[in-house]
Amino acid sequence: MKLNRSTIIYLLVMIAAASVYRAFDNRMWGFAPQIAMALFGGMAIKNRGWAFGLPLISLFISDVIYQLLYVNGLTPISGFYDGQWVNYLVMGSVTFVGILLNKVNIKNIVLGSLIAPVYFFIASNLMVWLGVGVDLYPMTWDGLVACFTAALPFFKGSLLSTFFFSAIFFGVYYFINKRKPVAQQQVAVTA
């Protein structure tokens, strides 16, 4: 994806919409667009700054929104908390899934939409269990099982949302890029 004015506007709208959506009240736990954004960034955006920045900027903006709502007593969810940097680290690393899959096609989008949330679930919960950033679970087999069990509702939401938002992000990407050759052909014909 080339970074021209319309592409940058599309990416900024994507960041803003995803940030606001993640802060919606009463959505399914884990049902958020950031994992799909990381996958999309890795697969479709050649500029690595934008590829990694897309989900991280969106995540940060939504955390700011959560914090503002929390401070004003409108949600019980705090935007900033101990160990939060772990989520940013793991989310940023999800972009590598897209980079490794590289080519944008249906097979890779479906495969990435499965691998990315599974990877995020395992990596983020393993970090929590290990006490990286926050110490919630004992470092025992029972602690590991308790940590992963507590995260299952988030996993279901992240798996469903990654497929859902990947369809949207890659669908819009497809239609944007599908138009380009037609426009270029029309220019070539009139020239």
> Considering the entire predicted model, what is its pTM?
0.85
Write down the pLDDT at residue 187: 34
CA–CA gap between residue 50 and residue 93 (Å, rounded): 14
Question: How many other C-beta atoms can be found within 10 angstroms of the C-beta atom of residue 170?
Answer: 22
The CATH code that applies to domain 5-190 is: 1.10.1760
Quote the CA–CA distance of 115 and 59 in Å, as a whole number. Answer: 20
62 close to 139: Cβ distance less than 8 angstroms: no
The model's pLDDT over 13-50, given as tens digits with 9 standing for 90+, comes to 878 888 777 777 777 888 889 999 999 999 998 889 98
Q: Is the dihedral of CA 166, 116, 76, 70 positive or negative?
A: negative
Domain borders along the chain are 5-190
Contact in structure between 98 and 41 (CB atoms under 8 Å): yes
Q: What are phi and psi of 150, to 5 degrees?
A: -65, -25
Q: Is the pLDDT of residue 179 over 70?
A: no
**pLDDT, tens only, 60-113:** 998 998 899 899 998 888 889 888 898 999 999 999 999 999 899 999 999 999
Query: Among 1-5, 23-27, 175-179, whose mean pLDDT is lowest?
Result: 1-5
Top pLDDT among 90 and 4 is at 90
Q: What CA–CA distance (Å, rounded) separates 46 from 9?
A: 16
Confidence check: pLDDT of 1 > 80 = no
